[in-house]
Amino acid sequence: MAGALPLLAALLVLGGCASVPPPDAAMNQAQAGLQAARQAGAADYDPVDLGFAQDKFQQAQTAMSNRKFGPAADLAAESSADSSLARTKAMLGAARAQIQLKLQANTRQRAQNEQAKAENAQHEAQQRAQLAQQQAATQVGPDGQPASASSTAAPANPASTGLPAQAPMQQDMPAPSAATLASPTQQGGNGFQTVPDAGQSAGNPASSSSTNTGGQP
């Protein structure tokens, strides 16, 4: 009777082990979790938790090979938890990376916009300066004084108007004086005769021909 007790205990243990079914669903779930974590980028953003999940899954496979279904189920559950954590951290890291890329793109865009505004302002300033110089050049004459509208207006070109060119007008010469017209006359060898001026001619009605010269009658 005493020898039958150990045998009964061994049978109960074997019966309990045989009553636990293989954890196929847990193993499939752990394997799917590992694949999802890898696809989410856990190898880049959370390699530590992904490594834990892979180790637990390998231990669960070893337990399944030894028909230790209870420990295999526990290890598969732990692998699923680690892979889920790795997947969540990977998704969070990917989202942060996308946000960082967008921030950098926005920073570059703002810098380009500021540079474009500065270039446009500089170009407008140059145009205003050139316009001011042109206006100043048209308003200042050669002598440095502001040119009026009459002085700045250019004379019309006869060729452009289609009219014949007119000769320049000549001014009338002034009439010569009586002294200029009356040239000195020479009388033989008695020298030059002085011509009386206009006042003397008016006062003396006698002509110059009747005047005796050289003391002759």
- Is 102 part of any domain? yes
What are the pLDDT digits (tens) for 105-128? Answer: 999 999 999 999 999 999 999 999
- Is 198 part of any domain? no
The answer to whether 22 and 42 have CB atoms below 8 angstroms apart is: no
The answer to whether 199 and 178 have CB atoms below 8 angstroms apart is: no
Determine the pLDDT at residue 104: 94
- Is 92 part of any domain? yes
- Is 51 part of any domain? yes
Buried b or exposed e, range 155-182, using 16+ CB within 10 angstroms: eeeeeeeeeeeeeeeeeeeeeeeeeeee
What are the pLDDT digits (tens) for 12-65? Answer: 555 554 567 899 999 999 999 999 999 999 999 999 999 999 999 999 999 999
- Is 141 part of any domain? no
Q: Give the structural domain span for 29.
A: 24-136
Counting the structural domains of the chain, the total is 1
Return all residues near 216 (Cβ < 8 A) that are at least 6 apart.
none
What are the pLDDT digits (tens) for 68-100? Answer: 999 999 999 999 999 999 999 999 999 999 999
Q: What would the two tokens of residue 191 be? A: 């020298």
Q: The CATH number of the domain where 98 resides is what?
A: 1.20.1270
pLDDT band at residue 137 under the 50/70/90 scheme = confident
pLDDT band at residue 149 under the 50/70/90 scheme = very low
Measured distance CA(121)–CA(85) in Å, rounded: 54
- Is 32 part of any domain? yes
Q: Compute the average pLDDT of residues 170-196.
A: 54
Amino acid symbol at 66: N
Backbone angles phi, psi at 90, to 5 degrees: -65, -40
Return all residues near 195 (Cβ < 8 A) that are at least 6 apart.
182, 184, 185, 208
- Is 132 part of any domain? yes
pTM of the model: 0.48
- Is 19 part of any domain? no
